[in-house]
Amino acid sequence: MIARRLLNLATASALLALLGAGTASADEYIGDWKKKYPVVKYGVIPVETQSQTTKSMDEFIKHAEKETGVKWELYTATDYSGVMNALMAGQIHLSWLSGFSYCQTHMDSKGGVEPLVAAQEPDGSMGYFSVIVVKAESPYQNADDLKGKIVARTDPLSGSGYLIPTAAFRQMGKPVDEYFQSPLAGGHPQAVIGVLRGTYDGAFTWTSKDDNIGNLRAMMNKGLLKREQIRVVWTSSPLPSPPVVIRKDLPLDMRVDLEKLFIRLKDHNMKLAESVAQGRTNGMVRVYHEDYALMCQAAELEREARKQKKN
């Protein structure tokens, strides 16, 4: 909390210097960065197909262009690493990431990125969960019932679909690769569809309280899933909400303006805020690296475990 207060004070001081005392209201954008950055490139991790992502983000991109007065371009990739690498290479300016992929990017860029905003639950809470889902009519009632069965993970750079279950089950003395048969599904929707089709007995994915935000909500919204088709048989501890992440080498006034754009979304159009949040939300709120400290510690431990496994 002390670190956050100091950060807020430092940001406020910098903003006063940028704005000049009494020259702008809190509702205005600073905008001095626009000549140097006439195009803002926004990346999105693959929680759906590229064509579906582009379609669902079209309205947000148009709104962002109108608000900021510069052109926006959407960047999508077939996997998490594509968006993360684009962010680190300076090919995009900001991106919506999972907590784990933010931590990985933060480590690989040596602190070159920071979380900007994340979605708040309708009741004001934050966070989501890694879960195991099974078909509703299956006999499996808990994770132990799935021992030796096929329980898919999603992508090695997914927090809820890989890192957290791998770390949690290792800590329980039940390594995922030994306790289950655990192939990679390639993505969250693919994992759940595999369960529905009988390809997998269970699958790791992510959701939040009352399925407000997450893969299950996104699939239900698109008609790919009826909630009564599946049951949750394992739930992780709460995880920090997926953040919109921005490069720290961008000017402060640009970062402040883009933060304001996301936070004001709910006031302009709640549907836009829900498109960005991938589900029901109370809107976007400011978040900080310290909010992801435990997730980043887990990411470091997983990286070390992978190194030891290779050796």
Tens of pLDDT, residues 208-251: 999 998 999 989 988 999 999 999 999 998 899 999 999 999 99
Domains 29-123+241-303 and 129-239 share a fold: yes
The CATH class of 29-123+241-303 is: alpha beta
| Polymer length in residues for the chain | 311
The whole-angstrom separation of Cα 218 and Cα 215 is 5
Report the pLDDT value the prediction gives residue 75, as an integer from 0 to 100.
92
Domain range annotation of the chain: 29-123+241-303, 129-239
| Sites in the chain below the pLDDT cut of 50 | 1-3, 5-7, 9-10, 12-25, 49
For domain 129-239, give the CATH number: 3.40.190.10
This prediction has a pTM of 0.77
Report the pLDDT value the prediction gives residue 311, as an integer from 0 to 100.
66
Q: In angstroms, what is the C-alpha Rg of the chain? A: 20
Q: How far is CA 186 from CA 15, 46, 48, 213, in A?
A: 43, 10, 11, 20
Q: What is the DSSP string of 76-126?
A: E-SSHHHHHHHHHTTS-SEEE--HHHHHHHHHHTTS-EEEEEEEEPTTS--
DSSP structure class, residue 142: S
Report the pLDDT value the prediction gives residue 156, as an integer from 0 to 100.
84
Give the alpha-carbon dihedral of 188, 193, 194, 196, to 10 degrees: 140
